[in-house]
Amino acid sequence: MLNIDINMNSIPALVVICICVYLAAGNTIRPETQIKATTTTSSILDTTFYTMEKLHRYRVSYPSDWNVTYDNGSISIIRSSNDQAILTISVTNLSSKKTNYTLNQYFGQEINDINSSARNKKFDIKILESIPHLISGNTGYKIIYLNGTPSGGSNSALNIVDSRSKTLVAWTITDNRIYRISCSADESKYTIYANIFTDIMNSFELLQ
């Protein structure tokens, strides 16, 4: 039997070496907000999903090769590996704003915000669908709209030129918080991600 004598003082250095080897092999270290992985098959595409759980708030699954590019605790932005699709999840605490919204009132606010952004950026907006929608068993709302750029224009947010983005937005209000989920892609690529967007929406779960 081989006896190995390890100096306890060398353990931190060994840990650093192991992490470096791990990263060099092409692996990544997930943010702390992502606490467990699950394997799920998309309804159409053979897609592995990763589960992100936000402490005391929600749980959602998205493709394992998508990356969290921004997270300030209230807003999370997750992008596909090719940067063609964007998932944005936000939680607004109404207590801190001293404002109470009904679903209908927030629907009006959402439409106003979309139209205001379009006017500021000289975009054209077209609402394709606007229907009630259940989110984690809670009454909510869902809209799908086109965010169009004029001929010769550009959308710097999505890095799209002479094109339109298609966005699915759903929200619910519970426990004095607005939970909002937005999935967006270039209109020409939207059908590629439509079923993935549906799976993301269906995976969203509010935590007790």
- CA 95-96-102 angle, 5° bins: 45
| 1 three-state secondary structure | coil
Residue 37 confidence (pLDDT) above 80:
no
Our separate counts of H helices and E strands in the chain read 4, 13
Q: Which CATH number describes the domain made up of 31-206?
A: 3.40.1000.10
pLDDT at 207 (0 to 100): 84
| 40 three-state secondary structure | coil
- Report the distance separating Cα 85 and Cα 159, nearest Å: 11
pLDDT at 4 (0 to 100): 33
pLDDT at 15 (0 to 100): 35
User: Residue 136 corresponds to which amino acid?
Assistant: S
- Report the distance separating Cα 167 and Cα 145, nearest Å: 5
pLDDT at 48 (0 to 100): 67
Domain ranges across the chain: 31-206
Closest by CA position to 147, among listed 192, 86, 101, 67:
86
Tokens of 179: 């939970």
- Report the distance separating Cα 153 and Cα 149, nearest Å: 6
* Mean pLDDT of the residues in the chain: 74
- CA 18-21-25 angle, 5° bins: 140
Q: Highest mean pLDDT range out of 31-40, 45-54, 133-142?
A: 133-142
